Amino acid sequence: MSDIDIELISVRKTYGNALVVGDISLSIPKGEFVSLLGPSGCGKTTTLNMIAGFQQPTGGEIRIRGRNQAGVPPEKRNIGLVFQNYALFPHMTVAENVAFGLRMKGAPRAEIDQTVNTALKSVHLEGFEAHYPKELSGGQQQRTALARAIAPRPSVLLLDEPLSNLDLKLREAMRVELKEIQQQLAMTFVYVTHDQEEAMAMSDRVVVMSGGVIAQEDKPENIYNAPRTSFVADFIGKSNILPVSAVRATGDQREITINHSNISLAVGSDQAGPPAARFCCIRPEDVRIIGGEAFAEGANVLDGTISKIVNLGAHLDLWVTVDRDITIKALVRSSRSDQLKTGNHVSISIAPAAIRLLHE
Amino acid sequence: MTIVATDSPAAPALRRFALRGYVPLFPPFAVLLLFFAVPIGMMIGISFQDPKTAQFSLGSYQRFLTDGLIIAGLFRTILMSGLVAICVTVMAYPVAYFLARSTSRWRAIVFALAIAPELAGVVLRTYGWLIILEDRGFVNDALIWLGLVSSPLPLAKNLFGVVVGLTHVVLPFGILALLTSIQGIDPNIEKAAQILGASRLSVIRHILLPLSIPGTVSSLLISFTMAASAYATPALLGGARFKVLATMISEQIMFYINWPMAAVMAIVLLVLMLAITFAGGRVETRLHKKLNV
Amino acid sequence: MNRLLSGLFWISLCLILAFITLPLLVVVAASLSPSSMVTFSPADWTMKWYAALWASKWLDPFILSVKIAVIVSLVSGVLGALGAYAVAYEKCPGSEAIMAFLLSPLAVPQIVKGVAIVLFLSSAGLYTLLGTPGLIAGHIVLTLPFAARMIATSIYNFDKNLDRAAQILGASKWQRVRHILLPLIKPGLFSGMTFAFIISFNNIPLSVFLVRPGQTTLPITVINYMEYSLDPVLAAVNVASLIFILTTIFLFEKLGGFSAQIHGGSK
């Protein structure tokens, strides 16, 4: 148990009749980078606030390093928190901001100075000690907030959408840096975000939340390649989610029929998909347009008409109508844009292994 | 921290803490109770006493309603305050409009000019108006020198002088009330009307004035209440014979030593103020609802 | 038509501004004029009326007024901060009703407050409190609502995340109030105290009932004098106290007005 930093046991939060977080259980081992990922209102920020101690759970238990936190105020939890708007103290310099936590604990002067230096060095902010927050750029404010949070060496660092106020370029650079800092410090990070790319890029484990409960909890690659529900499949990356009316097994091969259509698709045998699957998920990049691209032996082939094309630069988003109500999205390289025009009749192929069966 | 789960073990601690939150209120509450609430209560009590025997009596209220001089003073108060309210609002409007719409560097100067007199206090300004308006003052000297009049005009020690002085005292508050209201009107609405072919005058008549009615009402309201409760300006610029409620109250305390009568007058003034503020507040809310602002 | 209208607008604006400034200019000119005939020609101006202020007749009331204003400003600042803290920071239940009570003196005309206090002191046998103690108490009732409102506004505008940030960094409540809340609401606190100072220093309607011989504030001394004479020494008194007020505001601003770093910071 000693290597578990945070443990949530059936944690629940309600406001009157409204359920915000419903019976979440989660253990986070020491040194792990965990993301709580979900759309706004999914309960991820409330969960973070309960771990920090700003909100009290209505039911269940939160343990930090094995100790029940009920009744422990935030200032006694030894946790770091990076705020979305940074919440830097505007009347203090960068160095004073970073020193604040240690100063409040009454640490000796020399230790404070040394820790401030190390913290600023680790976020590459040497030389900005005497600046006030309003004299800093967004990225520098962000780094200051990070340095302030890690300076008192908390065992756990909570991050509440810390990159959402930065522009795209900086955001991508900071992802790499945050991950490096986390590994260097070997500190447990709990990262709240609605940005799936961020979660994917940095996390050891992603916890997808929806409607106050955990929809799926796994390694990033598994979340993407093996979504458990249509919500996860839809929320993470792009996907075609088609309703399934029947699943038949013939030998070790399975075949599904798409609802309200005559389309049947062979499904890979490797997945022990639930027999009562109600949806299937196909990633657009797994859909091939025949003619030009080679396709694997034994793939499903469907005929259709291109109904819409959106140019994304390097790639094209293609909508292919294969039956009256069924349209499948495909992602193809832009170099083929000459051959593909709206209204063209095309054949598409989908490898059986690329089709995921989902039961909800 | 406002929602505390009843089943949480932390609940009793948090509730005890919530009670401690009231502790800082003790000193300000004590001061307000001792030097405000209790005195107001005692004043109401004294108003029901006989001035001589201190027995229960409605005599002072009776006298207030029947004494012609007092009733005249009450009406003089209302007339004076009404005139001041109108003068202030009419004069405040152009200044407020300029401050709300101008982006020039004059804006800061006009703002300072409009608000700065407030720092000077009432005495300085009243003294200024006295030496401008009195019989041997500035204006009369000029008029006589120009040969426009042969004897000094009675500009001070009467209603005219008091209204001028009070308008000057209250004007900054009228400007601020109208400024807030006009700043709330989207300048694009005026531009939209102009694009649709409205002249400057029709923009004022059909757009600006209707939309700034709430500000106008609050300017009238604040001017009326400030004027009605003003003491120094009517006392100094009005002269001995110009009596309003505020000056009559101090006369009862300091010359007649008739506490019950002073209390009754103070209560009438207080009720008048509260009634106007309440009624005006209702009108304002209704206007705000109607204009959706 | 449009040009006529805007011409009228500018003329009325200028006339109104002239109306606002006229009495101030006249008083300044009067304070420098050699006799009660006001002159605007600088060649004739004299400082003799200002020299006449250096007499206990004017100095004593001035010192009393300053003493009262300083005490009133400090006490209103402390009491207002306590009330605003409970209402706006702790947000204790019923905070709206509490704020309404703290602001209630504003609904009562000053002269009525004055009568109430003087009747209270007289009928409770506290005559001895008339003069300085009564003036201080009365002025505090008058200025406390303004101070409480200004400080409460700056607490409401204070970014609550800063408080949470300090809390998660381990700061206790007292440490948060001292290191985060107080420095950040200092401008509100100081403007409340400045306001209290000015209101107290200039006050007439309350003071008129609460002064006693030998303990008379400057404005009351001036209006008593004005009943008999309008001589230019009054102009000098008024201009001098205006200069004093402006200096005080400047000093308060220096002390409490934050250097620029606070504006445009977080939030």
| 8 A C-beta contact, residue C141 and residue C117 | yes
Distance of CA A155 to the CA centre of its chain: 22
Inspect the interface and report whether the beta carbons of B119 and C105 lie closer than 8 Å: no
Residue C256: pLDDT over 70: yes
Inspect the interface and report whether the beta carbons of A75 and C179 lie closer than 8 Å: no
**CA end-to-end span of chain B:** 33
Inspect the interface and report whether the beta carbons of C170 and A78 lie closer than 8 Å: yes
- In a domain, residue C23? The reply is no
Instruction: Answer whether C223 touches B (CB < 8 Å).
Output: yes
Residues 6+ apart with CB under 8 A from B75: none
Instruction: Answer whether A91 touches C (CB < 8 Å).
Output: yes
Q: Indicate the burial class of C41 (C-beta count within 10 angstroms; 0-12, 13-18, 19 or more).
A: exposed
Inspect the interface and report whether the beta carbons of C23 and B40 lie closer than 8 Å: no
For A28-51, write each residue's pLDDT tens digit.
Answer: 999 999 999 999 889 999 999 999
In this structure, are strands A264-267 and A33-37 parallel, antiparallel, or unpaired?
unpaired
Nearest Cβ partner of C86 from B24, B110, B119? B24
Alpha carbons C99 and C140: distance in angstroms, whole number: 16
Residues of C in contact with A148 (CB under 8 A): 165, 169
Residue A224: pLDDT over 60: yes
**Mean pLDDT, chain A, integer:** 88
The nearest alpha carbon in chain A to C184 belongs to A91
Alpha carbons A325 and B178: distance in angstroms, whole number: 61
Inspect the interface and report whether the beta carbons of B5 and A57 lie closer than 8 Å: yes
Instruction: Answer whether B258 touches C (CB < 8 Å).
Output: no
| pLDDT score at B82 | 96
Inspect the interface and report whether the beta carbons of C162 and A91 lie closer than 8 Å: no
Instruction: Please tell me the distance in Å from B57's CA to the nearest CA on chain A.
Output: 56
| Helix extents (H) in B6-137 | 11-20, 26-32, 38-47, 59-66, 68-101, 106-115, 117-133
Residue B121: pLDDT over 50: yes
Instruction: Give the length of chain A.
Output: 360
Nearest Cβ partner of C90 from B21, B125, B168? B21
How high is the ipTM of this complex?
0.87
Encoding tokens for residue A138? 């967004």
CATH of the domain at C100: 1.10.3720.10
For B169-226, write each residue's pLDDT tens digit.
Answer: 999 999 999 998 898 888 888 888 888 878 878 888 888 888 888 899 999 999 999 9
Inspect the interface and report whether the beta carbons of A71 and B3 lie closer than 8 Å: no
Instruction: Answer whether B106 touches C (CB < 8 Å).
Output: no
- In a domain, residue C194? The reply is yes
- Answering whether pTM is above 0.80, one says yes
| 8 A C-beta contact, residue A137 and residue A94 | no
Residue C20: pLDDT over 50: yes
Alpha carbons B113 and B129: distance in angstroms, whole number: 17
Instruction: Answer whether C88 touches B (CB < 8 Å).
Output: no
For C120-132, write each residue's pLDDT tens digit.
Answer: 998 888 888 889 9
Give the residue-averaged pLDDT of A204-228: 91
Alpha carbons C197 and A280: distance in angstroms, whole number: 75
Higher local confidence (pLDDT), C76 or B21: C76
C-contacting residues in B 200-229 (Cβ below 8 Å): 200-201, 204, 225, 228-229
Residue of B19, B22, B32, B155 to mutate for C, most C C-beta atoms under 10 A: B32
Q: Which domain holds residue C225?
A: 58-265
Give the residue-averaged pLDDT of B148-175: 90
Inspect the interface and report whether the beta carbons of B259 and C111 lie closer than 8 Å: no
The nearest alpha carbon in chain B to C16 belongs to B91
Residues of A in contact with C164 (CB under 8 A): 52, 54, 74, 81, 83, 87
- In a domain, residue C91? The reply is yes
For B55-72, write each residue's pLDDT tens digit.
Answer: 888 888 999 999 989 999
* DSSP code at position B134: S
| pLDDT score at B13 | 45
Residue A307: pLDDT over 50: yes
Instruction: Please tell me the distance in Å from B15's CA to the nearest CA on chain A.
Output: 12
- In a domain, residue C159? The reply is yes
| 8 A C-beta contact, residue C91 and residue C156 | no
Inspect the interface and report whether the beta carbons of A85 and C161 lie closer than 8 Å: yes
Nearest Cβ partner of A86 from C168, C179, C266? C266
Residue A118's closest CA among A137, A134, A95, A141? A95
Residue C144: pLDDT over 80: yes
| pLDDT score at A346 | 86
The nearest alpha carbon in chain B to A74 belongs to B1
For C28-66, write each residue's pLDDT tens digit.
Answer: 998 998 877 777 778 888 888 899 889 889 999 999 999
Domain count across chain C: 1
Instruction: Please tell me the distance in Å from B10's CA to the nearest CA on chain A.
Output: 5
Residues of C in contact with B24 (CB under 8 A): 82-83, 85-86, 90
Residue A188: pLDDT over 50: yes
Inspect the interface and report whether the beta carbons of C266 and A54 lie closer than 8 Å: no
For A231-283, write each residue's pLDDT tens digit.
Answer: 998 898 888 988 888 787 776 677 888 887 878 888 876 665 556 677 888 99
**CA end-to-end span of chain A:** 34
Residue of B1, B2, B3, B16 to mutate for A, most A C-beta atoms under 10 A: B3
Inspect the interface and report whether the beta carbons of A87 and C167 lie closer than 8 Å: no
Q: Indicate the burial class of A15 (C-beta count within 10 angstroms; 0-12, 13-18, 19 or more).
A: exposed
Residues of C in contact with A90 (CB under 8 A): 162, 184, 261-262, 265-267
Helix, strand, or coil (residue A243): strand
Element (H, E) at C45: none
Instruction: Answer whether C71 touches B (CB < 8 Å).
Output: no
Instruction: Answer whether A130 touches C (CB < 8 Å).
Output: no
Encoding tokens for residue B155? 């500009």
Model confidence at A291, in pLDDT bands (50, 70, 90)? low
Alpha carbons B142 and B145: distance in angstroms, whole number: 5
Chain C positions contacting chain A at CB under 8 Å are 159, 161-162, 164-172, 175, 179-180, 183-184, 258, 261-267
B-contacting residues in A 4-63 (Cβ below 8 Å): 15, 56-59
For B235-267, write each residue's pLDDT tens digit.
Answer: 999 888 899 999 999 999 988 889 999 999 999
Model confidence at C142, in pLDDT bands (50, 70, 90)? very high
Phi, psi of B212 (to 5 degrees): -100, 15
- In a domain, residue C15? The reply is no
Burial letters A171-206, b for 16+ CB under 10 A, else e:
beebbeebbebbeeeebbbbbbbbebebbbebbbbb
Given the structure tokens 């990225």, which residue do they identify?
A139
What angle (nearest 5°) sits at the alpha carbon of residue A203, between those of residues A199 and A204? Answer: 145
The CATH superfamily holding the domain B43-291 is MetI-like (1.10.3720.10)
Model confidence at C261, in pLDDT bands (50, 70, 90)? very low
| pLDDT score at B2 | 40
Residues of B in contact with C1 (CB under 8 A): 199-201
Q: What is the largest CA-CA distance in chain A?
A: 76
Alpha carbons A330 and A240: distance in angstroms, whole number: 9
Alpha carbons B225 and B78: distance in angstroms, whole number: 10
The nearest alpha carbon in chain C to B131 belongs to C230
Nearest Cβ partner of B24 from C6, C82, C101? C82
Residues of A in contact with C263 (CB under 8 A): 134
Inspect the interface and report whether the beta carbons of A132 and C265 lie closer than 8 Å: yes
Instruction: Answer whether B48 touches C (CB < 8 Å).
Output: no
For C145-203, write each residue's pLDDT tens digit.
Answer: 999 999 999 999 999 999 999 999 999 999 999 999 999 999 899 999 999 999 999 99
The nearest alpha carbon in chain B to A14 belongs to B5
Inspect the interface and report whether the beta carbons of C205 and B270 lie closer than 8 Å: no
Query: Which one-letter amino acid corresponds to residue C122?
Result: S
Instruction: Please tell me the distance in Å from A54's CA to the nearest CA on chain B.
Output: 7
Alpha carbons C135 and A320: distance in angstroms, whole number: 86
- In a domain, residue C94? The reply is yes
Window from A265-274, A320-329, C182-191, C223-232 with minimum mean pLDDT:
A265-274
A-contacting residues in B 7-46 (Cβ below 8 Å): 7-10, 13
Encoding tokens for residue B87? 């003068």
The nearest alpha carbon in chain B to A16 belongs to B3
Q: How many CB pairs under 8 A join B and C?
A: 229
- In a domain, residue C67? The reply is yes
Give the residue-averaged pLDDT of A70-82: 91
Helix, strand, or coil (residue B8): coil
Q: What is the DSSP string of B260-291?
A: HHHHHHHHHHHHHHHHHHHHHHHHHHHHHHHH
Alpha carbons B262 and B253: distance in angstroms, whole number: 6
